[in-house]
Each structure stands twice: as structure tokens, then as C-alpha cells.
Structure 1
Amino acid sequence: MNGFDHRLLFHGETFAVVSPAGDITGERGPLPGGLFVRDGRHLSRWQLTVDGATPDVLAPGVLVPHLGRSEPPPHTVTREQTVRADGVLEERIRVDGNRAEAETVRLALTVDADFADLFELRSDHRVYDKAHAVRTRQALPDGVEFGYRRREWRAATVVTADPAPDAVEETGSGARRLVWLLELGPHGTAELVIRVEARPFDAPDHTVVGPQADDLPLAGPEAWPELLRACERGLDDLSRLLIPAQGPEGEALRVPAAGVPWFLSLLGRHALITSLFALPYRPALAAATLPALAATQATAEDRTRGAEPGKIVHEVRHGELAHFEQVPYGRYHGSVDSTPLFLMLLGAYTESTRDDKHARRLEKHARAAVSWMFAYGGLDDRGYLVYRADEGGLANQSWKDSPGAICFASGERARGAIAAASPQGYAYAALTATARLARTVWDDAGYADLLEGAARELRERFVRDFWLDDRDFPALALDGSGARVDALASDAGHLLWCGLLDRERGERVGRRLTKSDFFSGWGIRTLATGQAAYHPLSYHRGSVWPHDTAITALGLARYGLRAEATALARAVTSLAEHSAYRLPELIGGYARPDHPAPVPYPHACSPQSWAAATPLALLTAVGG
């Protein structure tokens, strides 16, 4: 099963993956089949037969009985499916008779709900103990209800139909078969409406009104129509990727989820970068993201979750395995960069909107975040933000978080307490942004002076420790011994975005990033070609991420390299044109001259929030 022969329906915390016929067969793999809500699968089978046989697919959702060439089909079945943010899937089935004779058509829909957690469906061969779990099935007058319980955990899926099925049959495998006998007159029509209501454990209130795609007109400098079209598609996806969250006082919010299918949840880094990209055009995203992350900020140490006082959360999950702490991601703080990004967004939101309400309300959260960077993050001890591999969670805790992402040019992995380059840029930007807040909003000039001094020292220290003189380029990281991790990587573009490099070095790095070993023609590779570590289909060692390219474009614009920023924007816009203007999370790093169409990455999320917001960042980059 893959994303090329299946359809994806999504809205808020709900998504469904169905076949072109409209069926669900419960596969695992890159795009698992099912109806999912809050990290749980509420439909694992949804298979339609007509007169006891599987029909042929003429077009997505348009089915006919399987017959030979000499016999035209007696009827046509049309299936229309939609999902809602509150966990409802609705299917409308219409049967149109194609002949002048009356007929009886037997429709049967086989339904089941296994309530699998998303983490069980990944292709990593892990098995999770779910002792004492009980599944139930109960016939209803108009359908069937599936139940699941495990200690205090309760979930259900309710399937109802109008008209009610003529029979609800047991299949022997635990599934149920809903059966209708439809009487069609000559060229007659019959319709069914089937409603699936997922009832996840501890479901939130879905009545909150959050930012929508048409809240504000798309503002900004003029650009080519294709880029504006990509912006509009991205805004539409963002409006449907909003999920419930709460602020510090329990207020209901909607924030951008990271992406479908694996990350339809709040990930701090993704929500923050998405909100930064969208800030000039959709400030309401930042206005929701900031208090939502303040509400989940750590207040005490918890080694099992990577939590330390002041640290901003990396990931929030609501599934069964997270609830029972079989995975650490219920509220997981395993990122070194969400905390400075939070400060960057708070400063940028205040400056962009000229509204200091959030800066005043979240002052204690911002000060706690700064304190974390020094006391726990590593600025006091190492002079940099550092992290160690988390045995129960993530091996790397910067944005390149796959196990082998932080590596030497040889491919050898960096080890020990790692100071990755991009978080140092974020730390610099966070210190300068918070200093401005302290001076202009909090009326604390002494604190502002302290932070500005720390930012200056970090800037000077970074060049001394990270700069590869022989390559005139920054190292990807420092390892636990302080050695420069010498792979040439796209993290340098993040340093430009944050202004960490001086003008001369920044211009040289910016031009270097647009050379052919970095620039594939579709975007910036995460790792330059010509290094032993490079692999065009590696997650972070040679692939192209549109959001990563957009960050570089913003950095190029910051350093006055307008032509180079425009070239990147045009490349990513061309990539969007190849995928109906929806940018994928990432693609292969193959060169465009060799591959005139983008090579997909097989496990990419799509839609994905910072990819959806990427065209907005590019619009900013090309317009200044």
C-alpha cells in the first residue's frame, strides 16, 4: 500500500486513508489504511461488495459489477466520502440502474474497528503489550457499535445507516457485515447514507473557532501566479490541519498539527516554524501556538520525557500507548530547539503585529525558557545548546532528528553531547528577540543588556569553534569532544535566517549554498553531494525539504542575496506545480537536469504543516 494508489481525507484530528474504490483493508506501511482520530484507528475494515462480488473501479468512487466486454453493467455505484474534525466519516452511496428492467441489488459493507495505536502500525516491527484489552461488538437497530477498553481507557466506533440495513451479519473474524437489498425500478436510483462516529478516549471540545484559510486576504508583495497559487493551496491545507489545544488558563485553541499520517499532533518545532512562516499573512496561527506551548512548558525534571524546567515541548500525543507510557511521547520534551524557537516567535509576533498582549501574558514563560537555555540547555556549561541521544526517544534533537543525521563527511555519526549548528542560530535569535522584549515591553533594561551580551559572545564563539577554514563554511555540529563534525549541510541556511554570521561570511555561505552540490534544481539538499555520507533518498543526508529551502531563501534575503533567494523560490514553486501545488514534506535529492520530474521520498508526510507554509515564507523572501 502506498500514497500513489490511495486517497487521503483529513480535517483536524481526523483522517482516513481509503482505496480508489473507497475501501479500507487495514494495511500497515507508509500510508496505513483506516479511519484515525487522536492517534487511534477507529475503522480497520470498510469493504463494499455488490451482489456478493468486489466491483471494478471506473474512477475513484465510481464502481460497476465485473462483467465481460460484451455485457454492459446493469448498474453503477457511486461512493462519496467526507470526514469532519470531530471524528465523523460520512459516506453517501448511490446506485443507479442502467437498464429498462427492474432489479434487486444486494449491497454488503464489511466493517471492523481494531483500535490500533498509530505507533503499532509503523514499519519498525515493534510489538506492544496490551494485556487485558477487550473488544466488543453490539448490533444497533440501524447499524453496529464497536467498543474497546483497557483499564480506564475507553474508545468506541458507532456505525449507523439511513435507511437501516436489512441485516447485520457476523463474519467469523469479528467484523460485521451490513446488508441492504435495494429495489431499483427501470433506470431507477437508490441511496444510502452511512455515518461513522469515532469516540476516542478523552475527546476534546471541537466547537472552538480557530483561524481559517480565508480569515485575511493574502497580503504581500506581488509575485508570479504559480507562487500565489501554492500559497493558497498551503493555506487551505493549514486550515484543515488545525487541531485542538489548550492555553495556560485552559482556554480552547486550535494549532497547526505537524502532518498526515504519522504526525497529526502538536509538535513544538513544527508549529513554531509554521507559525513563523505564516506570521505576515496569518498571525492568528502564532497567537494560538504561543499560549498552547506555554501551557505544555515543563516545570520540573522528568528524565523519561526529557523534561526540564522552562523547556518547550517537542511532541504531544493522545493515543493509548502514550497514555500508558509505552511510548514517551504523551508529552515529550526531546528537542533542543523548540525552546529558542518559542522565544523567536514571541518576539517576531510582538514586533510584526505591534501587539504586546502575548509578550506581557507569557513573560514568565519566556524568562523560564531563557533560563532553561543557560541552566539546562548548555549555554552556561558548553557555551552552546547541546543534547544527548535519548535511548527511549530520539537519537538527535535538532530538526535533523533521524539517527544518522548528524554525521561527519565520512558518514560516521557524531557522538556524545552534540551541539548542532542550527540550534545555535536559533539561540542567538532568541536572545536578541527576548532582549528587545525586555527593553520595550517588560521595562527591564538590565535583563536586556545581559541577553544582548550573551548573544554577542555566542556569535563570536560560534565562528571560532564551528568555522571550517579550509572549506570556508560552518561545521554541521560539534561532537562530545568538541571536534568539528565536518559534513557540509543545509543547516548553514538556518544560520543566515537567524543572522548569526557576520555580513562577509554570511554572503559567502549563501552563495555556496546555491552551488550545484547543494542546489538540486528543486531545492537545497540537506547534505551536499560529493561526501561519503550523501544519499539522495536518506531522510536528512541528501534529500530536499521545501521548508529547509525556504529557511535558506529567507536567510539569503536577509543578507541581501535577492537573486539567489528568487532562484530558490522559483525552484520550490516548480516542485509545487508537479504535485497540484501541495508541497511534499521532502523529496529525493536527485539533480533536476538528470530527473526532470521530482523523485518522491517514499515515507513523506503530505500534507504537512511547514511544507504547507513554505510558499508563504518564499513570498516573504522574494518580496523582502
Structure 2
Amino acid sequence: MLQPLLHDLVGTVMAPTGALSGTDGQLRPAGVQGLFHADRRVLSQARLLVDDTEPEAVGHAHDGAGRTRFVSLARWLGDSGADPTVRLDRVRELTPYGMTESVEISSTASVPVNATVTVELACDFAAMDAVKTGRVTGFPVPAAAAGQGRLTWRSAGAHVIVTGQGAEARPGDEPRLTWKIDLPPRGRTTLSWRLVVQDPAGAFVVPAAGPPEWSPPRVDAADRRLTRLLDQALADLRSLRLATPDAPEDTFLGAGVPWFLTLFGRDSIWAARMLLPLGTALAGGTLRVLARRQGERLDPRSGEAPGKIMHELRRHAIVLGEDGRRVPAAYYGTIDATPLWISLLHDAWRWGLPEHEVEPLLPHLEAALGWLADHADPDRDGFLEYVDTSGHGLANQGWKDSGDSIRFHDGSLAEPPIALAEVQGYAHQAALHGAALLDAFGRPGADRWREYAATLAGRFRAAFWVDGAHGPFPALALDRDKRPVDALTSNIGHLLGTGLLTPEESAQVAGLLGGPGLAEGFGLRTMSALDAGFSPLSYHCGSIWPHDTAIVLAGLAREGFDAQAATLAEGLLAAAESFDYRLPELYGGDARHRVGRPVAYPAACRPQAWSAAAALTIVHAALGLHPDVPAGQATLRPLAGAPLGALTVGGLRVAGGEVEVSVAGDGTATVTGLPDGMRLIPGR
């Protein structure tokens, strides 16, 4: 069984509902196509026919959050001649609990047009994990009649109702909606149908309430790619907003379509962190949702431990792969979500998260720090490490969580327990961030965590650094025998900005990140092309992930390595052009001089929250504004020489107020709208 491919499908989403179709708009009973709601496929076919023939597709475009337009032709109708005269615009619009389609049929023919329009439907109620692994073995559920123009499907967990306005509905094993149309010369008509999902079993995620937690920024960019990428990204992020039934007021971002449209600790945290320049409300919601599910007990099966932040939330236990491994609905198999949660709390506080929102989270902060001390280092060697003791969970529990992602330079696999390089950086930063919060709110223990960070930095320096063809660098990880896993990977870029490296070490890392082995593609490769395990279409050993590239370029920019940061930003912008400005989860790591455009990774999710949020990271790195609201100051350090061209962004948020930053073509930057009394400190 093989995982269905996604690269040539078109996603439309309004969480927790998402549709995947062909580029022609057809939902066919194959692979992962269909309409999904909260981890269940509620429509496995919606095939549009005109006179029992599929129209010929000519194009499609995303049209805002949750809306896609598909254009096709019925060339056998209307006038004869070279130019088509009958056009269909199929407009798909998703809601959190269903989908509406309008079929606009327009004729420019000089003769009347008469036709029969049909939508063939099917529903199989397949579970998302069964679809993902290619294990769908069931058959479509027969449709029942539910009144004029209405069809219905029922299962133990859901009720689906389809209504075709003015249509004749045929129930049974081959359900369909049918319309007869009679258009006069140059006439037009619009047909419509809608699907509604009722979820009597109770949802585990619900739509976010109210408008987005951010306002669209006002962007004037010399490089128009940046504006187009940001516009599409914010539309996608708006459609990925979710909440949980117990706290519908707290919003987080679902990780991505189709497999990960739910709460994901690491992904939701990173996306919220990247969006901090647009306000702290999303960060606050994400922090609270995860704090409510913070671990309280030791459970090897789920990976739960006291103080630990969870990995993912599902409707039910899911199968991870072809070997039948199952993880619980609430799964904690992640080594990095807990320190990242601490740093999100700290960064949101610096951007102006109000104290009355920070203070209730301080006990959770202390519990998360406690996990670092008591449970993250089971063999007490001073490093955070993971091993799946259950035998049913993820073998690798960092962001590169595929089973073959942790490889030595010679391509051999590392054996767990594994201590990842970037996770030590996250822990170092989290300890310092935790100490700052404890001091600021008059709570004890800050000195302990500063000492923890200093000790970790010394241990890391002694254990992780190895020699390579281009000089010393941090290893990807330590394996079960404490051997450095000596592949050169993007992971080391996540160390920048964490404080774990000395300035000299940061310069060495930055030089390697900017070298051809890692940076000659459309962004940053996950593994150097000089390593034996490299493959440009490997999930984690040579591909390019936009969020990974964005995290590293932000670290490069923050530490003053502007040329390398600009190279990575340009790579992402070039890739964005090729993907209609909707960056996928990942794509191929081929060198730019070998391919004219990035090669799609065939199973990549799109839209993906942290890939979309990467657009804002590019903007933020170019502007270089870093506020510290509690300290009453902000630094301004744009990329030297304005490598992305002149850029002005208004509508940024610092302590709830609007701020505008402008970078001229020569790199000169100005900022207006900072809160009263806040000092601006030039970063150069």
C-alpha cells in the first residue's frame, strides 16, 4: 500500500473542513480526493458532467480564504468554430461544516443551448489515517432521499446532507443531482448545491470563533512576489484557524491539509511564533490550548509525562504507517514542543502579551521547566533525548520525524535514544527565557535555569562538534552510544539565535549554511548534497521545507549574517512563484542550476500553516524590528542593503498598537507608532 500523492491536487479549506480535487475541480473516487471534516471523509466523489461528458478544464485560481474557482469549457455546445462559446465557472466555497458549489454557465453562442447538468456524488466516511496509508477498503454508503433535491448519508459518527437548488435528486448506490438547462442566445444561468455535515458523535476540534486574530498588514514592496506570497499566506492561515470545544474562544492554527488539520504542538507553536509581528492573540490562544493538555502523569503508551506539551490531538487512535502502529488520540511523542512552548510564551510577552494573560500560564511554565529537568534526559547525561519505549509511536520525535531522518555522513541510520542538536538549542533558549519570566514575575528559580543553560552550552561544545570537509560543525545528533551523527544538515541553523553558540561558532555555522551543499536549491536543504544519505526527494534528507528555511534565515538575520539570510529568502520567493504563491509543506532539494523550478514533493500537504507563516518571517527578517515591551525598548536592524528592495509594512502590532516600518532601497529604516515611552535602539 502506498500513500496517495497530493502534488497535483487543489486544496480548499475552512477548518475543520477541507477539500482536495483535481485541477479541473472534479472530486474523483481515487486516492485522497474528497471532502474531509475533522479526520473523516464525508464526500468521496463530486463529478460534474454536462450531457454525460466532463467539461474540459482550462484553469483554476484561489479566490480568498476557503474559496477556489475552476474554469472549464463545453466545446460541443454552442456555435461551431475555433472559439469556445459555452463556459463553466465552478466556484467552490467551504464553510467549517460543509461546502457550497455554484456552477455559473455562460454562453456567448448565437444559438440556444440546451443541456443536462449532473453532479455524481458518493460518500464513504473513510477515516483520514486509512486514506493516508492507502488502506481504504470500504465501499460508498448508499444515499437516501431526504425531500425535493436532497440526499443524505448516515454513519455512526456523522450525518451528511446534500441539497441541490432546483435539482432532481436520485438516491441509491449511484446518487446524483440533475438539472435541465435551456439558455437563450448569449444567456447564462447559475446552478448551486451545498453539503452540510452534522457531527453527533462530538467534534474534537471546532471552527475558531470570530474574525482572525490579526489584521492584514499594509505592504508596499518593490518585489511584488513578496506581496503576492503574503496575501496568499494570510488567506490560507485564516482558513486554518481552529479551536477546541472546551475553549472555543482560544484559537490555534491547524498544521495543514489534508493530514494534519488539527492541533499539533510543534507546528501550531512555530506558526504562532512566526505571526507575532501581527499581534499576540493567536499566540495566547495557542499557549492556553496546549497548557490545558499539558502532561500530568507518566504514560509510555502516549508519551505523556508531567509538564510535557503534547504532539497532536485526534478524534481517535490513528495508524501511523503500513506496519499498523497505533498512537492514542492525545499523543505526546515530541521532544521539542515543550521548550518551544516556553519560548513562545516569552516571545509573546516581549511583543506585548498582557501580564494578565501571562500570569495564569506561569504554573505551566514551571511545569514545563520541570519536564526539562526531570523527564527530558532519562540517562542524565545532560542532553534532551528521545526513544519510543512503547514500540507503537514515532521512532523520531524531533521535527524531522520520519523513520530514516537521522543518518550519519555515510548514510547509516542512528539508533535511539537520540539527542538532536537543535533541541539542545531550544532547551538552552527555553531555560534563559524561563529565567527571564520567573525574574520578571517575582517567582523563584531563575538562577537555576541560567546555570542549566550555561552547563548545557559547555556540554554541547564538548560533545557535538565534529570535523568535516569544510571545517568544524555541530553534528545532527548523538546516537545511543553518544557518537556524533556527523551528517551536515539544516538542523544546525536552528541553533542560531538560541544563545547556545559563541559568535565564532555562529559564524562557522552561517558559512556552512550558505555553502552549496545546503543552499544551492530553492531554500535550505534539510541535508547536504555531500552526505551519502542525500536525496532531493527524501522527506527529511535533502528536500527543502519552507518553515525550516524561514527559521534559519531568521536566525541568520538576527545574528547579522545578512548575505546568507538574503540568499535563503530569495530561494523561497523563487519557489513561491512556481507554486502559485502557496508554499507547500516541502519540495525537492535539486540545485537551482539543474532545474528551472522546484520539483514538487508528491505527498506534500498544501496549505500548511508553518509554510504559510514563513512568508511573514521573510518580511520580519527584512524589517528587523524586535520589541521588548516589558523593557520599554525595541531594536531595529533590517537586512543590510535592502536585498529584497524597498519595503514598507504598516499594521504591525506592538503591545496592541499599530506600528509601521519602512526600509528604503539603500537599507535605511524608520519606524513609527511605537508605544509611548518605548526607546528605539538601532541594531547596527
For normalisation by structure 2, the TM-score amounts to 0.82
Contact 2:317 2:329 in 1 (8 A): no
1:488 positional shift: 1.2
SS in 1 for 2:386: coil
One-letter code aligned to 2:360: R
How many Å separate the matches in 2 of 1:216 and 1:101? 47
Which of 143, 154, 171 is the aligned partner of 2:149? 143
Distance 1:292 1:44, change over 3 A: same
1:307 aligned residue: 304
How many Å separate the matches in 2 of 1:5 and 1:499? 41
Tell me whether 281-290 or 266-275 shows the greater mean CA deviation. Answer: 281-290
Contact 1:40 1:115 in 2 (8 A): yes
2:103 aligned residue: 93
1:287 aligned residue: 284
2:490 aligned residue: 490
Which of 458, 461, 464 is the aligned partner of 2:459? 461
1:64 aligned residue: 74
How many Å separate the matches in 1 of 2:87 and 2:149? 21
Equivalenced residues, count: 602
1:349 positional shift: 0.7
Tell me whether 68-77 or 196-205 shows the greater mean CA deviation. Answer: 68-77
When the two chains are superposed, the root-mean-square deviation of aligned CA atoms in Å is 2.9
Residue by residue, what CA displacement relative to the aligned partner does 1:422-451 show, whole Å, maximum 9, x if unpaired?
11110011110000000002x02x400111
Distance 1:452 1:212, change over 3 A: closer
How many Å separate the matches in 1 of 2:449 and 2:152? 56
1:68 positional shift: 12
Contact 1:526 1:542 in 2 (8 A): yes
Tell me whether 614-623 or 364-373 shows the greater mean CA deviation. Answer: 614-623
What are the within-5 Å matches in structure 2 for residues 200-349 of structure 1? 200=199, 201-203=201-203, 206=207, 208-211=209-212, 215=215, 217-218=217-218, 224-245=223-244, 250-318=247-315, 327-349=326-348
Contact 1:216 1:282 in 2 (8 A): no
What are the within-5 Å matches in structure 2 for residues 545-564 of structure 1? 545-564=545-564
Contact 2:206 2:244 in 1 (8 A): no
Tell me whether 383-392 or 452-461 shows the greater mean CA deviation. Answer: 383-392
1:169 positional shift: 4.8
How many Å separate the matches in 1 of 2:311 and 2:208? 26
1:76 aligned residue: 86
Contact 1:537 1:543 in 2 (8 A): yes
How many Å separate the matches in 1 of 2:227 and 2:87? 38
1:398 positional shift: 0.5
Contact 1:39 1:319 in 2 (8 A): no
Distance 1:404 1:157, change over 3 A: same
1:61 positional shift: 3.2
Residue by residue, what CA displacement relative to the aligned partner does 1:344-381 show, whole Å, maximum 9, x if unpaired?
10011111216223321111111111111221111772
Distance 1:67 1:336, change over 3 A: same
One-letter code aligned to 1:106: T
Contact 1:12 1:242 in 2 (8 A): yes
Distance 1:586 1:6, change over 3 A: closer
One-letter code aligned to 1:464: A
SS in 2 for 1:304: coil
1:5 positional shift: 4.8
Residue by residue, what CA displacement relative to the aligned partner does 1:362-419 show, whole Å, maximum 9, x if unpaired?
1111111111122111177231111114632211000111111011111111112110
1:511 aligned residue: 511
1:596 positional shift: 2.7
What are the within-5 Å matches in structure 2 for residues 502-541 of structure 1? 502-541=502-541
* 2:391 is the alignment partner of 1:388: no
1:166 aligned residue: 168
Residue by residue, what CA displacement relative to the aligned partner does 1:460-517 show, whole Å, maximum 9, x if unpaired?
1111111114541011111111111111111110111312111111111111211111
Distance 1:246 1:500, change over 3 A: farther
1:588 positional shift: 1.3
Distance 1:320 1:80, change over 3 A: farther
Tell me whether 478-487 or 351-360 shows the greater mean CA deviation. Answer: 351-360
Contact 1:51 1:105 in 2 (8 A): yes
Residue by residue, what CA displacement relative to the aligned partner does 1:1-55 show, whole Å, maximum 9, x if unpaired?
8556543211221111223443211211xxx211111111111111222233333
How many Å separate the matches in 2 of 1:352 and 1:92? 43
1:234 positional shift: 1.9
One-letter code aligned to 2:315: H
Residue by residue, what CA displacement relative to the aligned partner does 1:261-294 show, whole Å, maximum 9, x if unpaired?
2211111101111111111224222121111111
Contact 1:166 1:181 in 2 (8 A): no
How many Å separate the matches in 2 of 1:552 and 1:207? 30
Distance 1:58 1:96, change over 3 A: same
How many Å separate the matches in 2 of 1:93 and 1:487? 53
1:621 aligned residue: 621
1:62 positional shift: 2.4
Distance 1:303 1:149, change over 3 A: farther
Distance 1:534 1:13, change over 3 A: same
Contact 1:344 1:430 in 2 (8 A): yes
Distance 1:159 1:448, change over 3 A: same
One-letter code aligned to 1:332: Y
One-letter code aligned to 1:273: W
2:64 aligned residue: none
How many Å separate the matches in 1 of 2:609 and 2:182? 47
1:603 aligned residue: 603
SS in 2 for 1:61: strand
How many Å separate the matches in 1 of 2:110 and 2:80? 18
1:452 aligned residue: 450
How many Å separate the matches in 2 of 1:65 and 1:559? 59
Distance 1:227 1:187, change over 3 A: closer
Distance 1:192 1:596, change over 3 A: closer
How many Å separate the matches in 1 of 2:404 and 2:207? 39
1:452 positional shift: 0.7
1:148 positional shift: 3.6
SS in 1 for 2:153: strand
How many Å separate the matches in 1 of 2:495 and 2:556? 10
How many Å separate the matches in 1 of 2:509 and 2:109? 70
Residue by residue, what CA displacement relative to the aligned partner does 1:546-590 show, whole Å, maximum 9, x if unpaired?
221222212222332222222222222222233233222222111
How many Å separate the matches in 1 of 2:217 and 2:276? 13
One-letter code aligned to 1:22: G
Distance 1:222 1:179, change over 3 A: closer
Return 5+ residue gaps in structure 1 as ranges.
Answer: none
Tell me whether 70-79 or 87-96 shows the greater mean CA deviation. Answer: 70-79
1:48 aligned residue: 48
* 2:121 is the alignment partner of 1:111: yes
Tell me whether 97-106 or 110-119 shows the greater mean CA deviation. Answer: 97-106
1:583 aligned residue: 583
How many Å separate the matches in 2 of 1:157 and 1:463? 58
Contact 1:218 1:281 in 2 (8 A): no
Contact 1:18 1:34 in 2 (8 A): yes
Distance 1:55 1:599, change over 3 A: closer
Tell me whether 430-439 or 259-268 shows the greater mean CA deviation. Answer: 259-268
